[in-house]
Amino acid sequence: MTAERDATVVIIGAGPAGLRAAETLANAGLRPILIDEAPRIGGQIYRQPPMGAERDPKSLYGFEARKAARLHGVLARFGDRIDHRPERLAWNIFEKTIDLLGPDGFEQITFDRLILATGAMDRALPFPGWTLPGVFTLGAAQIALKAQGVAIGKRVALIGAGPLLPLVVYQSLKAGADVVAALDVTPFGPKIDAFGGLLKAPATLVKGLYYTASNALKGRPIISGVRAIRVEGATRVEALVWRDAKGRTHRIACDAIGASFGLRSETQLADLAGCAFVFDATARQWLPDRAPSGRSSRPDVYLAGDGSAIGGADVAELTGERAALTLLGDLGGDLGMRTDEGRVTRLDKALAVQRGFRTALEAAYPFPRHIVSAIADDEIVCRCEGVTAGTLRKAARDRGAEEMNRLKALTRCGMGRCQGRVCGGAAAEILSQTLGRDIAEVGRLRTNSPIKPIPIGEALT
């Protein structure tokens, strides 16, 4: 046993990035600690139903069933060579110490090296009626199907601004849900223009086209260029109103809506760890600075997967392995010696191709600015604290809130239970629009621990 092999290497996040990282480290003879909030591995995209609610993998993961099975099998293949610690919320990082809340209460781990693979969530934007019971994210509609075998409503309208929309429509129809509308708030034109670039990842493109064709054949084609979406309902969702690309208004009765507008990286732990951030103009979000090698600005912290740059599950796997190989090289000794340089080259090539595909995909689904412009003053932006767009605009205009943390201090927007995870992006858009400044100039919410609610009584003891 060498000193390098005794290093405490922690991975936070047991999705595709974290699992591939864990597998790579275990293969090299390390015993990584793999932490995740969920009881079972897989992350969100390869999420496994709770024990007792299992179903056939093919019906859960479709074309990705083999990839899902391979990743879910990691723990079985490696046994205790991966120290899996489920049901643990990593709620703070200070220097080399991670604070956890698990089934037995509070714990701390001190790491030598850390890989952050914290994943992403749906990007939410406010629209009239979005806080009514029955409005969920697209991701939520998908989780309801996959993890629980339920539809989010009897008559479901799905709204999106990215490739998740055709997939969730496809999965919903396949599962037998009644999808009454499938609306894309981005125009159709850019998808034609981006076609050449999308061919960089032909297998992924073919799957996307298959979902699109299948949805159309089942009578629920996706309508592009939708604007002015509005939910109606007294106490819960009762109808959806929207305007099509030709300017005609439509209204359809429904009792549930799954809506989101792309994805958003979960960056809080990287922020608490002190990683440097850079503004990403495509994601319209500040992201931890991640080198192609998976390095952050901190020599002992590595980044992988959607938590540091949206790339999807396949890219997450590649970046997980890539970051783990960099880490092994950095540990040196006999572990560093055995780093397979050929493998590194192949990964970097695959990642370069995927970057080209991603650029085309982002161009195919441009950010829906019209949703932001349409946010009325009385609309709630911060769901936790009930702060309206009008309050934010007034603080920007009359109270000198020129930057996100100042805006938070003055209005409580982003101060609630979700810590700005849901409203932070929308609030930055509103602030930038009100001030007439680029979104990069309004800054970003500083992360505070705990990143999610924890029982304060226990924290004090």
Partner 1 sequence: MPDPHAIPLAAPQFHRLAARGGKTIRFTIDGLTHDAVEGDLLITAILTARGSLRHFEFGEADRAGFCLMGACQDCWVTLATGERVRACTTLVRAGMAVIIEGTLP
Positions in 242-261 near partner 1 (CB under 8 A): 255-256
Tokens standing for 43? Answer: 């992350």
Stretch that binds partner 1, among 6-14, 105-113, 355-363, 412-420 (CB under 8 A): 412-420
Omega prior to 450 cis, within 30 of 0? yes
140 binds partner 1 (CB under 8 A): yes
Closest CA to 113 of 268, 7, 20: 7
238 binds partner 1 (CB under 8 A): yes
Among residues 18, 42, 126, 134, which is the contact residue for partner 1, using CB under 8 A? 134
Among residues 23, 99, 184, 266, which is the contact residue for partner 1, using CB under 8 A? 266
Q: Residue 22 burial (CB < 10 Å; 0-12/13-18/19+)?
A: buried
Shortest distance in whole angstroms from residue 40 CB to partner 1: 12
Our CB check for partner 1 shows the closer of 89 and 409 to be 89
Q: Which residue type sits at 103?
A: P
Closest CA to 385 of 413, 406, 410: 413
> DSSP character for 433?
H
Q: Does residue 409 contact residue 402 with C-beta atoms inside 8 Å?
A: no
Closest CA to 231 of 127, 373, 95: 127
314 binds partner 1 (CB under 8 A): no
180 binds partner 1 (CB under 8 A): no
139 binds partner 1 (CB under 8 A): yes
Positions in 104-133 near partner 1 (CB under 8 A): 121-122, 124, 131-133
Using alpha carbons only, give the angle 137, 263, 221 rounded to the nearest 5 degrees: 60
Residue with tokens 């924290």: 459
Beta strands in 54-112 (DSSP E): 83-85, 89-94, 97-102, 105-110
Q: Which residue type sits at 415?
A: M
Among residues 153, 160, 162, 208, which is the contact residue for partner 1, using CB under 8 A? 153
370 binds partner 1 (CB under 8 A): no
Shortest distance in whole angstroms from residue 177 CB to partner 1: 6
Our CB check for partner 1 shows the closer of 115 and 173 to be 173
390 binds partner 1 (CB under 8 A): no
421 binds partner 1 (CB under 8 A): yes
Site string for partner 1, 21-50 (x = CB under 8 A): ----------------xx-----x----xx
Beta strands 156-160 and 89-94: pairing type?
unpaired
What is the spatial distance between Cα 379 and Cα 288, in angstroms, rounded to a whole number? 31
Which residues form the interface with partner 1 (CB under 8 A)? 37-38, 44, 49-55, 121-122, 124, 131-137, 139-140, 143-145, 147-154, 175-177, 233-238, 255-256, 266, 383-386, 416-418, 421-422, 452-453
